[in-house]
Amino acid sequence: MNVSSVSFVMRAAARRLIAANNGTHRRLTRTRAVYKSTLASAAAVAGSPSSSLLTTAAHPLQQYDFLISSGTLRPDTHQRRIIQLLQSFYVNVLSYAPPPVPSAAPSASSLLSRIFTRTATPEPDAPPQTAPKGLYLYGDVGTGKTMLMDLFYHSLPPTIARKRRVHFHAFMIDVHKRVHAAKAQMGAHDGGDPILPVARDLASEAYVLCFDEFQVTDIADAMILRRLFENLLRYGVVMIITSNRHPDELYKNGIQRSSFIPAIDLLKSYFQITNLDSGTDYRRIPRALSHVYYSPLTPENRAEIDKLFNSLTTPLTSSSSSPLADPVVANRPLTTFGRTIHVPLSTSHVARFTFDELCARPLSAADYLEITRIFGTIFVTDVPKLDIGRKDVARRFITFIDACYESRTKLFISSEVPIFQIFSDDGASANGQLSDHMRSVMDDLGLPPEIVGASAMFTGEEEIFAFARACSRLVQMGSKEWAETGGHDTTWSDY
């Protein structure tokens, strides 16, 4: 992959992470932690499966009933209707035998053979008639979309090995990398379709795909998705998608949206579209705050951060003569997209940065995703109050917060002002008042404006949403539930 290709992918990833303007989800952290620990016992409590298709793993409806009876979830008739929908889809998936994915033919020497991608077996011209219709679950933030999809995914028996559950941002980063690799293999002047081999490879790896937070905010994604989904369906891939928007609302004001309309029609034709909104907002269930944020930058707070870091890492020296298994390492190298970044202090699971080390350097969304993928706990110290003069740094911090949220990273921060207010200029916009759009966004996120204020450094619709969403996520990542359940050791693998 050349330098310009890498730059393109990273810029696209950054735009997707900071420019999402269609709402965000609030994951039910308590539910996910308890669900993981009780999954094995759920099947036994619920009784024997009622269908010969089921394995020893509890099916979605059994698991949901167990979570209700254990007090982990609250009864919700609307949510039960969605679970029953998932149950039907689950049974259909278990009885589904996907067709074999055609393998690519050996490369030929003729120009014509290289232009048109050929396979050893005929390419299907339509989705198999036996394939279950996909599910497209959409709704406002706080409706439990992620929890419901995860409940389905983790109920699939081990016999279904070709499955994948992935956040849509991470999926598209992966797709862009594969597309560039396919173009490089075809050659600059070949003119072949790079989407076809990418779809073929993805279908070979998984015929059950679960996408969380599907959204389209980038022209590069919009141009790829129609061809990609079209080919995945032809290869017999079945999908569950969660989103904040109905398909008709996707990429609504995007550049060249007319080119994306066929993708919307495809979703409406091959997916069952279901609205999750029920009037219950799970974001507004009170959460106790945990002490993970420290301000102002006093010697006492610095000492507390040091104490926390030392308690979560292996000391550099030990009275024991045994070698230390996981010592703190200075300047640990990480490689992302062929270049190396250095982590100032880290063990294999815990990392520590100053704010300038993390955000004053030209790091990208791909870098932050790699950092949060590797380290389940991250310390960020000496976060200053930001102003218009450091807008680029503020954007990087927002991108970092999004990466932490998606990876369920446990976060500890020391800051000059309360962390929710580092972007704030006392709630003033250009005319001294919160804009109507800012008020609307904060209300949508369940975020009291008086807690975080507003910021004149963010003006565009997408910037305002990214700012408010980052503050909202910081509030959630400061909760007791997040502190108890965050970190890679207590979360499910998404990839």
Structural domains of the chain ordered from first start = 3-284 (3.40.50.300), 293-315+326-490 (no CATH)
Q: Which residue has the tokens 């004149």?
A: 456
pLDDT greater than 60 at residue 444: no
Q: In terms of residues, how long is the chain? A: 495
Average pLDDT (410-420) is 90
Average pLDDT (174-185) is 89
Average pLDDT (77-83) is 84
Give the model's confidence band at 432: pLDDT under 50 very low, under 70 low, under 90 confident, else very high: very low
59 phi and psi, to 5 degrees? -80, 170
416 phi and psi, to 5 degrees? -65, -40
Q: Cβ(37)–Cβ(72) under 8 Å?
A: no
pLDDT winner (highest mean) among 76-80, 306-310, 449-453: 306-310
357 phi and psi, to 5 degrees? -65, -30
Handedness of CA 282, 283, 285, 287 (dihedral sign): positive
pLDDT greater than 80 at residue 28: no
Inter-helix orientation angle 195-205/219-234, to 10°? 60
Of 68 and 467, the structure prediction assigns the larger pLDDT to 68
**What is the enclosing helix (H) or strand (E) of 47?**
none
Which residue type, as a one-letter code, is found at position 297?
L
Q: Which residues pair with 137 in a beta bridge?
A: 242, 274
CA–CA distance from 197 to each of 168, 180, 211, 490 (Å)? Answer: 20, 11, 20, 36
- At 235 the pLDDT is 96
- At 191 the pLDDT is 63
Give the model's confidence band at 356: pLDDT under 50 very low, under 70 low, under 90 confident, else very high: very high
Cα–Cα dist 465/114, whole Å: 45
DSSP 180-193: HHHHHHH-TT----
Best CA proximity match to 334, nearest among 379, 371, 366, 380:
371
Cα–Cα dist 492/153, whole Å: 11
Paired sense of beta strands 163-167 and 208-214, if any: parallel
Give the model's confidence band at 45: pLDDT under 50 very low, under 70 low, under 90 confident, else very high: very low
SS3 for 328?
Answer: coil
- At 32 the pLDDT is 41
- At 485 the pLDDT is 67
What tens digit of pLDDT does each residue of 258-297 get?
889 999 999 999 999 998 876 554 544 555 556 899 999 9
Give the model's confidence band at 463: pLDDT under 50 very low, under 70 low, under 90 confident, else very high: low
Tokens of 464: 């305002």
Cα–Cα dist 40/56, whole Å: 9
What tens digit of pLDDT does each residue of 207-226 get?
999 998 888 877 888 889 99
Tokens of 149: 């999809």
SS3 for 374?
Answer: helix
* Radius of gyration for the alpha carbons in the chain, expressed in angstroms and rounded: 24
Cα–Cα dist 340/322, whole Å: 32
Start-to-end CA distance of the chain, whole Å, equals 23
CA–CA distance from 132 to each of 207, 237, 301 (Å)? Answer: 11, 9, 56
Handedness of CA 95, 139, 232, 370 (dihedral sign): negative
Q: Which residue has the tokens 């497209």?
A: 136
Give the model's confidence band at 142: pLDDT under 50 very low, under 70 low, under 90 confident, else very high: low
260 phi and psi, to 5 degrees? -95, -15
- At 408 the pLDDT is 87
Question: 66 CB contacts (<8 Å, ≥6 apart)?
Answer: 38, 41, 42, 45, 46, 58
What's the chain's average pLDDT? 75
**What is the enclosing helix (H) or strand (E) of 341?**
strand 339-346
Lowest mean pLDDT among 176-180, 218-222, 225-229, 465-469: 465-469
Which residue type, as a one-letter code, is found at position 204?
S
